[in-house]
């Protein structure tokens, strides 16, 4: 039985409108495994079962209706799941994605909540695919990916996923060029700037070469009627698929408008090396150079952090695979990156698990 037929039957239990869709599909990922993490806490190492290490576990519904003339309506409702305890992730029902939109010759426009363009940028270029290491967040846990704006002291939605947003994607027939953009409303009364978020991706693919640029800016407002601290990042990346190996280079500069201005540069060298159709090895080396001053009176800077990571995946089929990864982060005395419990602490993480896609 096809998934789309099963999905139609299930959705019909909730609303007869489901049968008006051209197609509705249920999909998801079930991912859970073991994590051993030493982040410098006085009590010692954490050993635990953790959901969503290679990819976040999820349950999703997506549908498309052909409106004629090349125009289509579409929707996606995607819920994050924690398989280790059965709870909902992202702190909301459909926290991963909740969008509705139109697509046609002009491209596609979606309204709602989704990953920021910069988050999707790292999904594409990070050899770990924004997973495996750094508590299942891949390199996106070390870089700034947006989706963390606040308005008048309210909590941010969740890192990397802006809410209240308009998303635009160019059509796929632009001779290798592509672009996507995002505008997120802060929804602050009388202020169109507070809490606003912006994102832009530009890409070009020719043969085995893939190059791209990403921009993200979040306007966070810590207190009602308080100043806005705009945090932004510019990122460039390039990869080339030689077949036997796919190297990648990523560079990002992050800054903000705080009184003690953030000044951070990050670069990664990585590689994906398929051994055969079932086995794959991936590795990255990342350096964070944080030149932010310790205080307005202290010219000393936060300092550097360095991470080496290696991962492995074995595929039983197109849907099911085993994975394992190890990451080691070392940093200067005033640096506190990669989830370190205290400044200067080294962080060591070992993960392995199983992922099934449906």
* Domains observed in the chain: 36-357 (2.40.160.10)
Contact criterion met (CB below 8 Å) for 60 and 79: yes
Token readout for 108 is 């596609």
Task: Kindly tell me the burial class for residue 114, based on how many C-beta atoms sit within 10 Å of its own C-beta (0-12, 13-18, 19 or more).
Answer: buried
**CA proximity to 160, closest of 123, 132, 127, 193:** 123
Q: What is the pLDDT of residue 343?
A: 97
pLDDT in tens, the chain (358 residues): 445 444 444 444 444 444 445 899 999 999 999 999 999 999 999 999 999 999 999 999 999 999 999 999 999 999 999 999 999 988 889 999 999 999 999 999 999 999 999 999 999 999 999 999 999 999 999 999 999 888 876 765 578 999 999 999 999 989 999 999 999 999 988 889 999 999 999 999 999 999 999 999 999 988 777 789 999 999 999 999 999 999 999 999 999 998 889 999 999 999 999 999 999 999 999 999 999 999 988 889 999 999 999 999 999 999 999 999 999 999 999 999 999 999 999 999 999 999 999 9
Q: What gap in Å lies between CA 210 and CA 287, rounded to an integer? A: 22
CA 75 to chain centre: 20
Cα–Cα nearest to 264, from 253, 249, 248, 251: 253
Rounded-to-integer distance, Cα 297 and Cα 276, Å:
56
331: tokens are: 């940093």
Q: pTM for this structure?
A: 0.91
Contact 331, 346 (CB under 8 A): yes
Task: List the Cα angle 229/231/233 in 5-degree steps.
Answer: 165
Which pLDDT belongs to residue 86? Answer: 93
SS3 of residue 33 by DSSP = strand
């Amino acid at each position: 039985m096809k998934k789309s037929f099963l999905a139609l039957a299930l959705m019909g239990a909730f609303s007869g409108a489901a049968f008006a869709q051209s197609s509705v599909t249920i999909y998801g990922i079930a991912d859970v495994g073991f994590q051993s993490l030493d982040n410098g806490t006085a009590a010692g190492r954490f050993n635990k079962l953790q959901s969503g290490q290679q990819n976040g576990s999820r349950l999703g519904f997506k549908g498309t209706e052909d409106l004629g003339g090349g125009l289509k309506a579409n929707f996606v409702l995607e819920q994050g799941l924690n398989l280790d305890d059965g709870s909902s992730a992202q702190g909301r029902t459909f926290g991963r994605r909740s969008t509705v939109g139109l697509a046609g010759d002009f491209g596609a426009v979606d309204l709602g909540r989704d990953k920021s363009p910069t988050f999707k940028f790292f999904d594409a270029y990070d050899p770990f695919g924004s997973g495996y290491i750094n508590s299942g967040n891949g390199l996106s846990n070390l870089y700034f990916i947006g989706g963390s704006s606040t308005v008048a002291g309210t909590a941010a939605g969740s890192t990397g996923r802006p809410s209240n947003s308009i998303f635009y994607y160019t059509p796929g027939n632009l001779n290798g060029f592509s672009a996507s953009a995002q505008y997120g409303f802060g929804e602050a009364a009388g202020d169109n700037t507070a809490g606003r978020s912006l994102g832009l991706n530009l890409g070009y693919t020719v043969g085995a070469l893939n190059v791209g640029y990403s921009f993200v800016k979040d306007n966070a407002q810590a207190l009602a009627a308080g100043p806005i601290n705009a945090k932004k990042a510019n990122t460039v990346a390039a990869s080339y698929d030689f077949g036997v190996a796919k190297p990648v280079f990523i560079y990002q500069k992050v800054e903000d408008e705080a009184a003690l201005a953030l000044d951070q540069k990050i670069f990664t060298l990585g590689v994906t090396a398929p051994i055969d159709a079932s086995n794959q090895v991936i590795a990255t080396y990342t350096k964070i150079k944080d030149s932010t001053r310790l205080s307005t009176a202290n010219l000393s800077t936060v300092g550097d952090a360095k991470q080496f990571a290696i991962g492995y995946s074995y595929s039983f089929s197109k849907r099911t695979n085993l994975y394992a990864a190890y990451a080691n982060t070392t940093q200067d005395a005033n640096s506190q990156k990669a989830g370190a419990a205290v400044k200067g602490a080294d962080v060591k993480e070992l993960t392995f698990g199983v992922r099934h896609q449906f």
